[in-house]
Structure 1
Amino acid sequence: MPRAQILLLGAVFVISFSFLLQPVKTQITDPTEVSALRAIRSNLVDPMNNLKTWNNKDPCASNWTGVLCFNKTLADGYLHVQELQLLKMNLSGSLSPEIGQLSYMEILDFMWNQINGSIPKEIGSIKTLKLLLLNGNQLSGPLPEELGNLSNLDRIQIDQNQISGPIPKSFSLLTKARHFHMNNNSLSGHIPSELSTLPNLLHLLLDNNNLSGQLPPELASMPKLLILQLDNNNFSGALIPDSYGSITQLLKLSLRNCSLQGGIPDMSSISQLGYLDLSQNQLTGHIPPSKLSVNITTIDLSSNLLSGPIPANFSGLPDLQTLSLQNNNLSGSVPDDMWSNIDFTGNRSLILDFQKNNLSSISASINPPNNVSILLYGNPVCSNARQPGIERYCQYQSIIQLPGSTTSSKISCSPCSTDLDYEYNPLSPIPCLCAIPLKVGYRLKSPGFFDFRPYKNDFQVYLTSGLQLALYQVVLDSFMWTDGPRLRMNLKLFPNNTNLFNDSEVVRIRGMFTGWVIPDSEIFGPYELLNFTLGYYSEAIPNISKSGLSTGAILGIVLASVALAVTLSSALTVLIMRRRAKSQALSKRKSVSRIPVKIDGVKNFTFQEMALATDNFCNSSQVGQGGYGKVYKGILVDGTVVAIKRAQEGSLQGSREFFTEIELLSRLHHRNLVSLLGYCDEENEQMLVYEFMPNGTLRDHLSAKSGKFSGALRFSMRLQMALGAAKGILYLHTEADPPIFHRDIKATNILLDSKFVAKVADFGLSRLAPVPDIEGILPAHVSTVVKGTPGYLDPEYFLTQKLTDKSDVYSLGVVFLELLTGSQPIFHGRNIVREATIAYQSGMIFSIIDSKMGSYPSECVEKFISLALRCCLDEADSRPSMLDVVRELENILRMSPESDFKPLEIEAAESKNPPSSSSSSVNSHPFLSSYISGSDLVSSVIPPIAPR
């Protein structure tokens, strides 16, 4: 028998025997719920086709994605939907009112999608609902009063949406509710005092809304309230009720930036209080001298109108991590014993921020440990020059960074197999055991501490105990602080000294997270699940339990299947041949339309990984946009912060730039060039993944668009940035193999990392430098169509279409002028090169220097602008080479006071092994002293230049 027929018959019998898996009497889903699910699907937009299984016949019997059913029929003879789990599936559209027809549902989970529209009032009819999880979407409109009918509801999470209107008074009927997470919306009106009747509420998170009115004193009567978090609302003129000082079980009280007035209540009755934040209000009077809880880690009373001395009750607190009293009217002496009862082992530290008060003295014998930081800038005590050693406490520190961490471990083992996602568990008692972990994105929504490091071990014990895993199975891969403050973590869960989890264990662990079964913790507070990446285990999650079949049913189906096999044989032969021909034609078309990219050292990311990293490309993740497309900030599963450049759909120019940039950047490695980490080329999407530059572009800073650092670039910093960019371009011209002409040097393509190191980016227009011809002669230029950005274009290249290394020199000279003047290349119809040339020739060069730069060394500025103008000469041969530019910038930097000069030779050696500059946090702005005034002109160092 021919091999093709053997395979065909085998396929027929496989199909025939598949009937054996069907019961004689099929269990089906309640038709009303089937209809409801189809209506839900019709209202959703599913660009990643995650819900493709929703086209199958029966939701429960056919395992629709995200639809989990009871594993047996109920009294009415039907299967029913128990959970709708659609976490982070890139869904948009709206929620259908037919959701209310899922009458037996217990968990409704649409977290971290892009659902818009309002919350259907029909959800209020699902009496069995326990978890309502809608956070991280784009929902708007008011909260339906009908949600108050959810008598079994344990948790409502609607945070991080755009929901408006008042909090319904009907929510006071949710007597089983323990968690109200409604922060980061646009809720308005008063907080209903009726909520005080809720007997089981633990967490009331209403921060970042538009709430107003008075703080209800009745909330103090809530018997189990542990966290009250109301930051960033507008309770204008309201007082903190004295009753809040008697919420005896309270763990955290956070009322930051709420426009509160009056005094601070006596907190001595809150015996378990661990976190107190009343900052950025208009509180007055003295700080109560009452004794505080020994559990307290964080006290922030900064930016108020408090007066009087620093009370003694802040001393002797064993767990205290930060005490911030800055920007008040406190007076008297600085305490000298606040750290006396603290054990500083295990990364413990203490920050005492007393800046900008009226403190007048400090003990001469004060000698805090190295783990204690005392900040006194802006107090009269700092003007007392007679007291030695005071200077170290008087340096201004604008931002106290919350430390993050990435776990790194050195394991001397041979590499794991790369055919699957194997990796080593650094905590495993079995050395060099390769295993496939589950990856979990996890965030503490209201942690009870300022610094997580001393609590890492406690957290591991807490989480492994809650998950019923061994300590070495949970690896905290990285953690970082986000706005709130909230603590985001990336976890890896490893099998118990085996290579793989079994399916039932994957199901159990996932259910612990998605069902919020892990017990709450007093110190770590409530958590939220950001993602649960199954990867290899994606087939391990069944939607319902399968039913078995009787022997009689099997025999009957066998006879029917054999008869059916004969009938299907000939039909299948024709069908297979037709499909094969069609598939080959389709495959051929696809191979023409796509260009394969296989480059060593550059990771090929999936579209799902990119969507996960950017919260489904939500608007809040977008950090830029250009002709190529949009740029997003993303966080990979391993915690790496990246920039993702996503091409516009159908952009031919984007396609060319895409492959050009991958090809070039994969071969370039220099500390002043942005590193390419990977790419994505699937789902009709093209994306480039770079190291993230947390301080944005040079243009952002020069045009005062960079937030807290805007306008703060002193001359020394600008000079360092100019040198960094020049070194990056010099590497392209002389060290890259083959050399490269960038062709689009401009201020928006020079990015700044966390330490303000300048890095050249965007190689989509770059061209390879000419190579020697067959006779060994090296052409001086590349003939190409003119491309670039107006204002930066080399005039000789523009006229002749001959691209040379001096074209990049011209563009960089324009950037230098931007650094000096703060102006854009073309502004109000004027050209920066022409304006600077005229000012230079007329002796008025300092009249165009950027006023935001402050004082500067005039001789250094004179030399810098001279170099910039020589770079911008019309004739390419008259411009300096990039090597000459770097050398001259180094000479200027040597002359500049308080600059960290590093010669080119050392820099070149370092560039061979560049350090990783990918960072997940932004460092504080370096403190720079003012330079001498630069009002005097220095004699010209270049010949006069004719105006353009």
Structure 2
Amino acid sequence: MKLFLLFFLFLLLQNPNFAISLSPDGLSLLALKSAVDQTSDVSAFSTWNENDTDPCHWSGISCMNVAGYSDPRVVAIAISGQNLRGYIPSELGALIFLRRLNLHGNRFYGSIPLQLFNATSLHSIFLYGNNLSGPLPPSVCHLPRLQNLDLSQNSLSGSLSSDLANCRQLQRLVLSGNKFSGEIPDGIWPNLDNLVQLDLSSNEFNGSIPADLGDLKSLSGTLNLSFNHFSGEIPRSLGRLPVTVSFDLRHNNLSGQIPQAGTFENQGPTAFLNNPSLCGFPLQTPCSGNPPKSSPVDQQNRETVPDTNSKKGLKPGFIILIAVADAAGVAVIGLLIVYIYWKRKDSGSCSCTGKGKFGGGEGKKFCSGACWNSFPSNDSEVESDKGGSSSGGGGGGEGELVAIDKGFTFELDELLRASAYVLGKSGLGIVYKVVLNNGVPVAVRRLGEGDGQRYKEFAAEIQAIGRVKHPNIVRLRAYYWAADEKLLISDFISNGSLASAIRGKSGQPSTTLPWSTRLKIAKGTARGLAYLHECNPRKFVHGDIKPSNILLDTDFQPYISDFGLNRLISIAGDGATSSGPGGLMGGALPYIKPSPAERVNNYKAPEARLAGSRPTQKWDVYSFGVVLLEMLTGKAPEFSSPTTSTATGATSDLVRWVRKGFEEENLLSEMVDPMLLKEVHAKKEVLAVFHAALACTEPDPEVRPRMKTVSENLDRIGT
């Protein structure tokens, strides 16, 4: 305080009116300005005027009115990333109502002044990324409200004091990247009931890992003790930590077997790397007490050793039993063949001549595995001499099968005779799975029996769609046009849609979609959508991005489907619209009742719900953002407002809920899909995708990024 008084007298002599105008909090702050070297860029203090009555309008300063005081009091200092060089003055301890001190990302040097902890209202201290040295003052825990202490990336040294046990309100303790050393004393951690984050990495701690770290019941994220000199065995008590905790114990001198209970069962091998004397699962290093794996030679030797206890030969009764079973099997197969023969012979409604209409209407018999035209498209039976394939042109009764992909050739008769199975039906037509003679499955969409007079327009549109070739977009291979029938033939994608992967076949959340797979789907979908927007002459707008239009193969590679269908249906004149559920073009699963979100298309951008609005690429960006949020949270777009009428569109409910959670700094675990909580090693990746989704779902379409930018940002995540 003597320095403070000397500083005050100096200012008083320089300006006699100064003490009358500026508040005491302002005087204390001017000590910080004076502590910064003049060689630094002091533009951060350009608004700090000693002639002001209070410092509340100074840059980086926040104030609040406090009962019993006429002047507002300083509650926060935030001057970060300014590359300021200087020391932290002890006068800041006189700010008794200071709650938040944020000076990170500068070049402050020297020790942390003990007088700073006289500011007993402090609950957050962020001094990381400076050049501070000296010990961590034990009096830091004299702050009764201290919740966040981040001193990482400095040059602090010495050992940790057991007085840390008095920081009972502490939630985040980050001391990584310093020069702390010595053993960590016992008895600290059981008292820190509220500790959520602990990072002691990249220091010089030694000795054993404290067993009472297992008492941190509120810990989440990563327990980071990496890049130290810890030795001895890993305490089994760490298995008592919450299952959402990930370990990072790399680059230490730990030894012995990794415990196999509790939280340890959720850890991957990277958590324990570079501990040469550590063994056991999940590392590839077996412990000496474990029996060695048998070599192939040993197995072969054991197989060649005769079994002296076994009986030689088979009993006669057993031989008779085998013969009877063989005879019964042959009889069953023969009966099955006869049944199939008479079943096909009696199937009068299945005309396999290759003539007649494609597909069928409701209520009629469908001959799966037989032929297509067994399923007439109206109530009257199909006449066997009507239709047929020809190379005739576009608008008459004659049909034309046109291959867009020249390497994909087959005959119309082959298509009509192939085995067919209904995949789904919607406002975008009926979709079938068809297996061609060569065993290749394709998806066939029947658009209906609309106007037959716009063939040239239809062909031009479909040729433009057919030129779109991308690994994450369903390929259109061919089409069939006749006056009373229009078909689209595309690749068959065998693992259903993202909708079924997220919600499962029953509509309930899926448990089989890990984070790595979700990130893969997000990246692939973004690449495909960016290609549609920018990497082809047409600059397509999809207009209907939602989970049911994102198909997955067996490797969970995503494929965007159904783009351009609205236009084709409009030309075909069927009168169908996209108001129905997703059509699953190319999809593999049987028709699944869509969620309410998809029935009313709650993936639409706000401006897309206005009457007369025309689709834009920013619509697709918004819809993709909602899909990302659904993958991240596991919640449907309308989840949070069951009382809201879906007619008004409840998509923004999910968007607003996530946005509000970030504004209020809620824990990520409160928003993320519970199925992902076991993969907290991906926390940074999840957070990055959240930010990408929020950018995509900005209410103002002009603020939303281009899909190309979104794709590039996603591709950088996890690499």
TM-score by length of 1: 0.32
The structure having more radius of gyration, on CA atoms, is 2
TM-score by length of 2: 0.41
